[in-house]
């Protein structure tokens, strides 16, 4: 059965042309699904829904807990001592409050920020440096020139934690279908605490530690860079290259972060449309093995494809399900040295960073969907060429729950040390299942994606495009695919999609062809035969599709 929306609409594109992006469905076409009640089993809502219905966003009043199932919040640390101890030193939060309160007085230097952070992180005095933060202060601060106003506002925002978060935040743990909805103001408060590194037990992610299975959330790595000089003759050159690298990457990251905080703390223009006043939902989805598709018997054919070498997932894909080429630790190297698709996305929309606070490492049958994040910045470049360009005033409309019509799905691709490893039945099935978990859902918006797992993870973009198209077909969604400037790749994928559609090749038949290709690769030395050439040849041999 052909599920192509093009057929149902009678708008099949002409041969050689791509499906019009304007015809793809977006979130605004699914208001009924988006506006369903949020309050349901497994969904924690950190605001009072009764007040929300009256147009006011206030925290929900709950009872805090300190356990392994919830975020351990800074103002609860340490937990109460046993009643046998009548005298105790100031709590960790008391020390933190004093340090942050000093920053609210204004006229702060970067050194003052360092002193404050280290006053309640003394265990890390020999490990943490603030090189990147000082570099920002010396160079880019001269352009932005707002830290003397911004740091006090950020410190006050962090101090507002007990007033803004009044119930436990559950950890989104593996193999549990759970969701959290919180206000953008609550997110900004949690991120301000992350900036000032206040979260307890979150600086150690070594194997066996309490949070070994979670990403870091404190921003210490964003400020820290270590350099080891082995040969003194190289010292000047290496140091110069190091400073240039920092200037172009970490300092640019900090520009995006500081712009975000400047937007959310700016008290001089409360009517500013950029000032966040909505909600964001974080939803972890797990699909058990027995519920995953049996790929070899799938009868659906490929759905509509818009493909272009121009445009981006983040902008042209607005309103679609936007794919985050994720690390299994959500956010990847966003707080460290990483600067590829996922990290850049998180700097454009820093509210995504808060997912690191409560999202356990993704398993092979899981994804994380974020609904409603706001975009704050324009950026340019990739990796070492990354830079913050300027503010972005997000015009994206909101649903009834005041969530932006923006939905991002984090799915992690396999990392192939040897590219040939991807051509196995097991690995192709894993990637199909992972994509399906991400694309599955009641809201059938188009998917905005691209070369998922094809950079540092060494994926074959031709194979990954087919895998995503197959998962999209089984999920009943169309696709917008952006090749990031690669015109030839866009043409090749377009021609392959057209050939498979014309020949009404089902997902099941295509899966069998991929398995056969894998069998051939196992017996070949060196680079495998071109995948698309192999498929075209086999499509001409009808017996091979049975």
Domain range summary for the chain, segments of one domain joined by +: 5-33+286-328+367-377+405-545
Residues of the chain with pLDDT under 70: 1-16, 80-88, 140-144, 225-248, 268-275, 525-527, 541-546
Which residue shows structure tokens 């050439």?
533
Q: What is the pLDDT of residue 247?
A: 55
Q: Which one of the listed residues 225, 283, 314, 343 is annotated catalytic?
A: 343
Query: What is the pTM (predicted TM-score) of this model?
Result: 0.92
Residue 51 has, within 13 A of its CA and on its CB side, a CA count of 11
CA distance 268 to 271: 9
Which residue shows structure tokens 């797990």?
286
For 545, list phi and psi in degrees, rounded to 5: -100, 0
CA distance 386 to 343: 11
Helix (H) or strand (E) holding 398: none
Q: What is the pLDDT of residue 17?
A: 83
CA distance 320 to 369: 12
> CA dist 198 to 75, 127, 191, 511, Å?
9, 16, 10, 49
CB 192 within 8 A of CB 203: no
Active site residue 342: yes
Q: Which one of the listed residues 225, 283, 342, 366 is annotated catalytic?
A: 342
User: Can you say whether the dihedral through the CA atoms of 467, 469, 471, 473 is positive or negative?
Assistant: negative
Q: What is the pLDDT of residue 52?
A: 95
Identify the bridge partners of residue 182 per DSSP, sorted by sequence position: 280
Q: What is the pLDDT of residue 267?
A: 74
- Closest Cα partner for 287 from 411, 124, 473, 138? 411
Q: Which one of the listed residues 225, 283, 314, 324 is annotated catalytic?
A: 324
Helix (H) or strand (E) holding 262: helix 250-265
Active site residue 488: no
CB 367 within 8 A of CB 411: yes
Counting DSSP H helices and E strands in the chain, the numbers are 20, 11
Compute, in degrees rounded to 10, the torsion defined by CA atoms 504, 507, 508, 510. 80
CA distance 95 to 98: 5
DSSP labels for 160-196?
A: THHHH--S--B-B-TT--EEEEEEHHHHHHHHHHHHT
Active site residue 277: no
Q: How many residues are listed for the chain in this entry?
A: 546
CB 483 within 8 A of CB 489: yes
Burial class (CB in 10 A: 0-12, 13-18, 19+), 152: buried
Q: Other C-beta atoms within 10 Å of 521: how many? A: 18
CA distance 244 to 51: 50
Bond from prior residue into 213 cis (ω within 30 degrees of 0): no
Please list the alpha-helical segments (H only) found in 73-130. Answer: 92-103, 110-119
In b/e form, how buried is each residue of 397-432, taking b as 16+ CB within 10 angstroms?
A: ebbebbbbbbbbbbbbbbebeeebebbebebbbbbb
Helix (H) or strand (E) holding 324: strand 321-326
Which residue shows structure tokens 């790929």?
295
């Amino acid at each position: 059965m052909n599920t192509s929306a093009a057929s149902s609409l009678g708008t099949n594109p002409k041969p050689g042309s791509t499906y019009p992006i304007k015809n793809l469905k977006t979130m605004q076409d699914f208001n009924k699904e988006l506006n369903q009640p949020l309050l349901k089993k497994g969904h924690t809502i950190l605001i009072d829904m009764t007040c929300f219905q009256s147009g006011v966003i206030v925290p929900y009043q709950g009872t805090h807990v300190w356990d392994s199932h919830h975020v351990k919040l800074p103002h609860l640390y340490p937990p109460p001592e046993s009643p046998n101890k009548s005298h105790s030193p100031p709590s960790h939060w008391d020390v933190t409050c004093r340090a942050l309160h000093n920053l609210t007085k204004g006229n702060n230097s970067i050194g003052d920020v360092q002193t404050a952070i280290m006053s309640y992180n003394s265990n890390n005095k020999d490990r943490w440096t603030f090189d990147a933060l000082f570099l920002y202060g010396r160079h880019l601060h001269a352009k932005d020139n707002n830290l003397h106003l911004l740091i006090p506002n950020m410190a006050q925002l962090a101090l507002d934690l007990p007033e803004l978060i009044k119930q436990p935040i559950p950890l989104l743990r593996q193999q549990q279908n759970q969701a959290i909805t919180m206000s953008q103001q609550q997110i900004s408060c949690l991120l301000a605490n992350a900036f000032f590194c206040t979260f307890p037990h979150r600086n150690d992610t070594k194997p066996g530690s309490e949070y070994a299975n979670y990403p870091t959330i404190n921003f210490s790595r964003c400020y820290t860079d270590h350099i080891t000089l082995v040969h003194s003759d190289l010292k000047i050159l290496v140091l110069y290259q190091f400073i240039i690298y920092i200037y172009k990457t970490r300092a640019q990251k900090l520009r995006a972060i500081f712009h975000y905080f400047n937007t959310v703390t700016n008290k001089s223009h409360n009517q500013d449309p950029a000032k966040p006043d909505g909600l964001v939902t974080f939803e972890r989805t797990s699909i058990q093995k027995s519920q995953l598709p049996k790929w070899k018997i799938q009868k659906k054919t490929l759905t509509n494809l818009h493909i272009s070498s121009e445009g981006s997932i983040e902008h042209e894909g607005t309103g679609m399900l936007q794919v985050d080429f994720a690390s299994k630790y959500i956010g990847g190297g966003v707080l460290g040295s990483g600067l590829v698709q996922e990290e850049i996305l998180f700097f454009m929309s820093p509210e995504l960073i808060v997912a690191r606070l409560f999202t356990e490492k993704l398993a092979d049958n899981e994804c994380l969907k974020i609904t409603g994040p706001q975009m704050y910045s324009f950026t340019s470049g990739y990796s070492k060429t990354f830079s913050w360009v300027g503010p972005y005033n997000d015009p994206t409309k909101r649903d009834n729950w005041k969530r932006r019509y923006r939905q991002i799905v984090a799915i992690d691709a396999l990392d192939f040390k040897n590219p040939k490893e991807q051509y196995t039945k097991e690995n192709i099935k894993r990637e199909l299942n992972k994509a399906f978990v991400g694309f599955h859902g009641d809201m059938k918006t188009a998917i905005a994606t691209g070369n998922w797992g094809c950079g540092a993870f060494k994926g074959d973009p031709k194979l990954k495009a087919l895998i995503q198209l197959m998962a999209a077909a089984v999920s009943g969604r169309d696709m917008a695919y952006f090749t990031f400037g690669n015109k030839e790749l866009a043409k090749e994928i377009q021609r392959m999609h057209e050939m498979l559609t014309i020949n009404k090749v089902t997902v099941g038949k295509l899966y069998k062809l991929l398995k056969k290709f894998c069998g051939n690769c196992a017996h070949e030395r060196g680079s495998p035969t071109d995948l698309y050439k192999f498929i075209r040849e086999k499509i001409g041999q009808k017996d091979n599709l049975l």
